[in-house]
Structure 1
Amino acid sequence: MARNPWSTAEDEILRDIYSTRSLVTQLHRLPGRTFPGARMRAKRLGLADPGFNAWTPEEDEIIRRAYANGTPIKVAIRDLPGRKPRATISRAERIGLTGKFNGKTGSSFSWVEQAVRNALEDGIPLTVRQLADATGASLPGLNYIVRKLHGNGIYIDGWAPFGNGNAARWMLGNKRDAAKPPAKPSAESCRQWRARRNLRTTGFNPFAIAMQQVAA
């Protein structure tokens, strides 16, 4: 038995939606129902779906707004249920959207700049990789924006250990950058690399043994 059976009223709404061939833009009329679920119910009711692949004027307007604002495809398709990024890019080209954005994520960085500012508003310094996690932007896009804003709205508040070096931690403001720690000597970097390699391959942890000896 279905956990959430369809009501007669919902079936009538679904029939009306399919008569206008606009399930993508009319799904809000069925609160609590998902796009795949609505299509499956329509199939069980014998409703033909000839217009599923036809793009509606509402969808075209969503794409135009996304292009005008430089919104990435992966964000824009949240308002286009059932549509895929590649199909959306193709549709944008068919309706003549061939400007600076071209529907490709990362080809316009205006949204990345605002996302960086929003992520740093909490006053917590973040590295580029942490900014990537917070914003969903790509590392190349973030590196470009960070270089652009460095000294013009953001500064280096400190440094975080990363690999054999250090990664800058960024903050909003125009203060003087924190001094970069000196690089590790090559011998020290090699020693640490060998220690990590041994730990991965053998499970040998000299620090754990040393702690046991101290405890004894």
Structure 2
Amino acid sequence: MKTSKRWTEEDDARLKQFYAAGVKSVDIAAILQRTRSAVHVRAQHLGVANRLARGDENPKWIAICAICEDGVPRSVRELSDLTGAKYNSIEHLLRLRQSRGHAHIVSYAPPEWRGPHRPLWLPVPGRDAVPPAVSKRAVRRRELRAARAAAAKPVGPVPDMKIKRKVAPAQRVIGAPQHELVRALFGMGVAA
């Protein structure tokens, strides 16, 4: 698809209508016969880009708020499963909203099997819970792993190990004496 055509006022008007209606950028690009990146750049130029993703109009944020209306804090994994969004996307959104004072960590759930405690979130302003201290057992295991790794690392060369050194190949002398058969076949060397 050739996409080097200029944007007309009609295209700009249609682009604004599509963004106002909440049409996905992929669909807008197909309708206007442009690339998705061209649609994004033009939308930013017109000042209509990412309107749905801003503030409280973000669909993921709206879904999280609706899920947590009951006041039950949930982990990022639960929110990811319930909204259908990716884990990293939900975690990034919650951390961003936490930094702006719109979400907070209510408490920490113990790990299911191993690992750190999982934060439980609510999408309302509040004070963050203090993270639980790392257990003595976890600290001890970490120290043991570090000690084993340090002990396993050899400090210098092992005494039984022979160190191979590169030896330069012997210089070939063209005028060296050669067997008469070699001289006859290859024309090398001088008579011995």
TM-score range, shorter chain: 0.3 to 0.5
Who wins on radius of gyration, i.e. which is larger?
Answer: 2
Report the TM-score when normalising by structure 2. 0.43
What TM-score results when the alignment is normalised by the length of structure 1?
0.39
Q: Comparing both structures, which one devotes a greater share of its residues to helix?
A: 1
